[in-house]
Chain A
Amino acid sequence: MLNNFFEFLNYDFVQRAFIAGSLVAVCAAVLGVILILKRYALIGHGLSEIAFASCSAANALNLPPLIFAAPVVIFAAFLILFISIKRRVGGDIAIAAVSSCALALGVIITSLSSGFNSSVYGYMFGSILALDNQDVILAIALSGFIILIFIIFYNRLFIITYNEEYARSLGLNVNFYQGLIALTTALVILTGMRIMGALLISSLIIFPALTARKLASSFRAIILIAALVALISFAAGIFISFIYNLPAGASIVIANAGLFMIIIIFKNLLKVICI
């Protein structure tokens, strides 16, 4: 079985999936740490629904989906961020309301036009094993850009995530960094949607950060562990999907959730043993 898996790894389309998928998984995980600690985790979910809606609308209108969806999602990211800054309470409700409306609109537009064909199905559940070279290049470029932003602004993003007021008192331009977070979220969703699907991408943002939080007590450690968890779950997910012939995106999510459960059980066992 393992031999078969290694043979499977030799295929071009599998290698493309590994390169693009692991890069996006790492970006989503690192971003997820910031979003979760800032209690913005819902933004990822809302944006992915909006991304799905705009892709299916583009599909119905015969426009190139990504080119149509990119400005919509980036605009929505800034709008949602603006809402959650302005109205601390109720921000999450606003996100849920706006994004589920967008999702419903997407479904209606789709059923009025072509119906649920394979490309719409692709936006929903991703098509990681059907990536072409162009997808991979796009994934490498965007993830490279995002990782570069994280490295360059690591210390600033840490302070902003920790406490915006304190960041302001240091003279940091908090709005700029918030905009940067919104932009990166939009980019991660857009790249991730092609690979993981709109319905599953937000779990790539949330799970690694949750798992890492259980294991780390410093910010640097939580970032590194989240990235590692994302890579492990990604590889495990692809492996599971190959062995049991399951959809790849969903298997990656299940691998993520499984790892999270294992860590929680292990930690609690440790507690019980120590007492």
Chain B
Amino acid sequence: MLCVNNLSLGYSGHIIIEELSFELASGGLIFVTGANGSGKSTLLRGILGLTKILLGEIKINKGIKIAYVPQAEAERTEYNFPASIREIVLMGRQRPFKLFYNSRDVQAASYAMTRFEINNLDAQLGQLSGGQMRRVLLARAFCAEPDLLLLDEPCAGLDASGREIFYDYLNDLRLKYNTAVLMVTHDDNLNLKPDKIINL
């Protein structure tokens, strides 16, 4: 599914990740840990093609569905954007060559919103609290029913019940769609057993 080979990533000259190699198979789970600034987000962004690869290669199976939950800060600037929660979550159903959403897409999105207990569907993005925003971003990624799920500190800002929903839902995705998960985390996730932990 995902194969990383001798990968080096960095910004304008200085290298942050050096010669990293790992493999993530269908249904697999990998944790990425490390101190602040060690390059965890950079790794996810590299896999998504959002930062330039300095050396090495990233191989991803063709045509798979990838979903991404950015770190909370990433979409801060969009908070005042005039879009409803509904519209934001539905974005997760976007696919290449898919111009319009069908009823299946709308259903999947509203299922995810219900599951994350997001109630004020017509509220504007800017009116959400940090934890509510996190639930929206998670719902957006989970409703995609992805083959590969990249999570950047998904539980940051979630309350206990939010975390419980998250772990339940994640398990369901892995059982139902055999989703491979690469997850940046700082907690000891006792509920999850990773195949591998990458410490940056």
Give A residues with C-beta under 8 Å from B. Answer: 37, 152-153, 155-156, 158-159, 162-163, 165-166, 168-172, 213, 216-222
Chain B: interface residue total (CB-CB under 8 A)? 25
Q: A169-B68, A218-B83, A219-B84 are in contact. List 9 more A-B contacts (CB 8 A).
A: A37-B82, A155-B101, A159-B91, A162-B88, A166-B70, A166-B75, A169-B48, A169-B49, A217-B122
B124 at the interface (CB under 8 A from A): yes
Q: Is the interface of A mostly helix, strand, loop or mixed?
A: helix
In the complex, the answer to whether A169 meets B50 with C-beta atoms within 8 Å is yes
CB distance from A75 to the nearest CB of B (A): 28
Q: In this complex, which of B49, B83, B99 has the most chain A Cβ atoms within 10 angstroms of its Cβ?
A: B83
Structural contact, B99 and A153, CB atoms closer than 8 A: yes
Q: Is B96 located at the chain interface by the 8 A CB criterion?
A: yes
Q: How far is the CB of B49 from chain A (nearest CB, A)?
A: 7
* Complex contacts, A155 vs chain B, CB 8 Å: 91, 94, 99-101
Chain A residues lying within 8 Å of B74, measured Cβ to Cβ, are: 165
Q: With A155-B100, A156-B99, A217-B124 given, is the CB distance from A169 to B66 under 8 Å?
A: yes
Most buried by A among B66, B75, B94: B94
Determine the residue in chain B with the shortest Cβ distance to A219.
B83
> CB within 8 Å of A: which of B65-112?
66, 68, 70, 74-75, 78, 81-84, 86-88, 91, 94, 96, 99-101
Asked whether, in the complex, the Cβ of A217 is within 8 Å of the Cβ of B50, the reply is: no
- Mask: chain B, 110-126; 1 = CB below 8 Å from A; 0 = not: 00000000000011100
Which residues of B have CB within 8 Å of A218? 82-84, 86-87, 122, 124
Q: Could you tell me if A163 and B84 are in contact, using CB atoms closer than 8 angstroms?
A: no
* Contact status B82-A219, CB under 8 Å: yes
Shortest CB–CB separation between residue B57 and chain A, in angstroms?
Answer: 18
